[in-house]
Chain A
């Protein structure tokens, strides 16, 4: 009894520790008082003001465009990369696969600074283009990570079966391979979109001074003054990223369920 009570209490503490900051943030985004410690009643003012703030709206636009474009481009590149890799022999494929995963373990700071240096070096003016390129670059490995396993699971004869039934190679990829790996592609899209919205460090080094993403705007607002709009904006960001992550999780657990079902059927 006490054991159980201790166990649950411990878990509650951990979750409290993890989520208390976010909870405070969300609560204070509805706080009528400007103070960060005193509750002054419920209000939606900060959200309303947010919608009138041009700086934030333009940052939101940049963030969404970059997120959408980088997600689409990175996923497209990753898809054809994976299909190509899959046709390679094992040794070179493993080598290329591992090289493409390295950026994932690279600290964002290093990626951001090295991208900035690269853009300086090739005399590319930092701005929207460099921001987008940077986001595509850090998104590609994650997209590959979501798509490659789907291709690996595929029956290797499926492509040949399509050729056998009269498909040209491009047709076979479109009619058979793409439908089979579509779950991986959709996951890649959501994941890269989320990562792109979420990113601060790499954007900070590659966006230049003219444009700004939401993350950068929040950062600079937080440095300048105490402004509850930050709370409101962060809450929105938190909720949208959380939603996307929940979608990804739901998708992958559903697939795991399906895989288990199929496996059971095959064994029976």
Chain B
């Protein structure tokens, strides 16, 4: 059952099939370094990847984002060659990647828990790949020094791995990968084990590194903020399926369904119905919006909490009572109980608990999404994420 379609045709079919899976328009055409076509993966009975198709452009920072168990790590492991796909194709620069064993792929991986070799010191860890490829002693020395400089660890080459902090270990892991000059660097939640401050610094460093090295980064994370900060393209996944592909701005501003809206930042998601083109009814009122849709179509309406303006209650506004106010530094986060539902509002204007307020939003801040069977799940936070194939060994 492996390849029923030729690669090109299959891509065309899957793109047309599912409008929300469309990828960004691509002008250059030939610059797809990696292309996945209808990849499926089962762990026993569990169908963990369902018809995954996307491409990765040369020098792109692409992020696979989703809650744990969504298949993002498995996708990365298929690219690295540690997992076999059950069906589908993966092309690397136009050639079949799945037939190539992991040790011959021009990809290198940065593992979540570093996976450094404890019996080697920092220098030998980084030199490992070059030694396997039988580079000259001189060449190895120069390139390792370069890599150490790149990750800002000059002078650490004699240290043992267990003498390093988590952040330093992660830098060594990155140096060990990039010293081999891979075409593509795969990163599996590389910042997951670091504390918040370190994570923020490393995000910026990684992005800089990707720009200056000019290699393609494929990044896996469950942290939506991390994904939005660093990526050129974000692929949102859930239960083995791609939910949306787009730039961070697109994903944030135009989520394709309630799951994406809820996973990428906080949202007010309300059931609604189109009354006619550019007019939608929800929360007991009718609003002008910017989307033309079929009349009478049931939709999900998303309004970001920061897009809601607080006004005096009037006929123009959705009216309700403030039930909770929390100061968040930059803004106040308020819950407002209305007749139909509870709204989350972030605003620099402060209202007091018990105040009667009116909620107002501009037409272009009302995002209309096709009704999906995936009603928003509770989004997992970073803390309760577990590695995906924990039970696999």
Judge whether A160 and B102 touch: CB under 8 Å: yes
A172 nearest in chain B by CB position: B103
7 new A-B contacts, CB < 8 A, other than A166-B104, A265-B163, are: A86-B393, A157-B111, A160-B80, A161-B176, A164-B109, A166-B103, A167-B103
From B102, B113, B117, B132, A171 is in contact (CB under 8 Å) with B132
The answer, yes or no, to whether B81 is at the interface (CB within 8 Å) is yes
B82 / chain A contacts, CB cutoff of 8 Å: 160, 163
The answer, yes or no, to whether B305 is at the interface (CB within 8 Å) is no
Q: In the bound complex, what is the Cα–Cα distance between A164 and B102 (angstroms)? A: 6
Question: Shortest CB–CB separation between residue B275 and chain A, in angstroms?
Answer: 55
Contact with A along B100-125 (1 / 0, CB 8 A): 01111001110111111111000000
A sample of 26 cross-chain residue pairs with beta-carbon separation below 8 angstroms, ordered by A number, consists of A86-B393, A90-B391, A155-B113, A155-B115, A156-B393, A157-B112, A157-B113, A158-B117, A160-B102, A161-B109, A161-B111, A163-B102, A164-B80, A164-B102, A164-B103, A164-B107, A164-B177, A165-B108, A165-B128, A166-B180, A168-B101, A168-B103, A171-B132, A176-B117, A182-B119, A262-B162
Judge whether A265 and B117 touch: CB under 8 Å: no
B103 / chain A contacts, CB cutoff of 8 Å: 163-168
The answer, yes or no, to whether A180 is at the interface (CB within 8 Å) is yes
B163 nearest in chain A by CB position: A265
Listed from nearest, the 8 A-B pairs whose CB atoms lie closest are A157-B115, A165-B129, A161-B115, A166-B132, A179-B119, A163-B102, A157-B111, A164-B109
B115 nearest in chain A by CB position: A157
Contact with B along A250-266 (1 / 0, CB 8 A): 00000000000110010
The answer, yes or no, to whether A89 is at the interface (CB within 8 Å) is yes
The answer, yes or no, to whether B197 is at the interface (CB within 8 Å) is no
Q: In the bound complex, what is the Cα–Cα distance between A176 and B128 (angstroms)? A: 10
B102 nearest in chain A by CB position: A163
Residue with the greatest number of chain A CB neighbours at <10 A, chosen from B82, B115, B177, B391: B115
Q: Which residues of B contact A (CB under 8 A)?
A: 80-82, 101-104, 107-109, 111-119, 128-129, 132-133, 162-163, 176-177, 180, 391-393
Secondary structure call for the A interface: helix
Q: Which of A211-268 contact B (CB under 8 A)?
A: 261-262, 265
Q: In the bound complex, what is the Cα–Cα distance between A265 and B163 (angstroms)? A: 8
Judge whether A160 and B108 touch: CB under 8 Å: no
Judge whether A160 and B132 touch: CB under 8 Å: no
Q: In the bound complex, what is the Cα–Cα distance between A13 and B172 (angstroms)? A: 56
Q: In the bound complex, what is the Cα–Cα distance between A199 and B165 (angstroms)? A: 48
- Once A163-B81, A164-B108, A262-B162 are accepted as A-B contacts, the answer to whether A158 and B132 lie under 8 Å apart by CB is no
B109 / chain A contacts, CB cutoff of 8 Å: 160-161, 164
B391 / chain A contacts, CB cutoff of 8 Å: 90
From A89, A90, A160, B111 is in contact (CB under 8 Å) with A160
Q: In the bound complex, what is the Cα–Cα distance between A156 and B387 (angstroms)? A: 12
From B115, B128, B163, B180, A160 is in contact (CB under 8 Å) with B115
A154 nearest in chain B by CB position: B118
Residue with the greatest number of chain A CB neighbours at <10 A, chosen from B102, B104, B118, B391: B102
B81 / chain A contacts, CB cutoff of 8 Å: 163
Question: Shortest CB–CB separation between residue B77 and chain A, in angstroms?
Answer: 8
Judge whether A265 and B111 touch: CB under 8 Å: no
B118 / chain A contacts, CB cutoff of 8 Å: 180
Question: Shortest CB–CB separation between residue A57 and chain B, in angstroms?
Answer: 41
Residue with the greatest number of chain A CB neighbours at <10 A, chosen from B82, B107, B108, B117: B117
B127 nearest in chain A by CB position: A165
A268 nearest in chain B by CB position: B165
Q: In the bound complex, what is the Cα–Cα distance between A253 and B112 (angstroms)? A: 30
Question: Shortest CB–CB separation between residue A6 and chain B, in angstroms?
Answer: 45
B180 / chain A contacts, CB cutoff of 8 Å: 165-166
Question: Shortest CB–CB separation between residue A31 and chain B, in angstroms?
Answer: 51
B392 / chain A contacts, CB cutoff of 8 Å: 89
B117 nearest in chain A by CB position: A176
Judge whether A165 and B176 touch: CB under 8 Å: yes
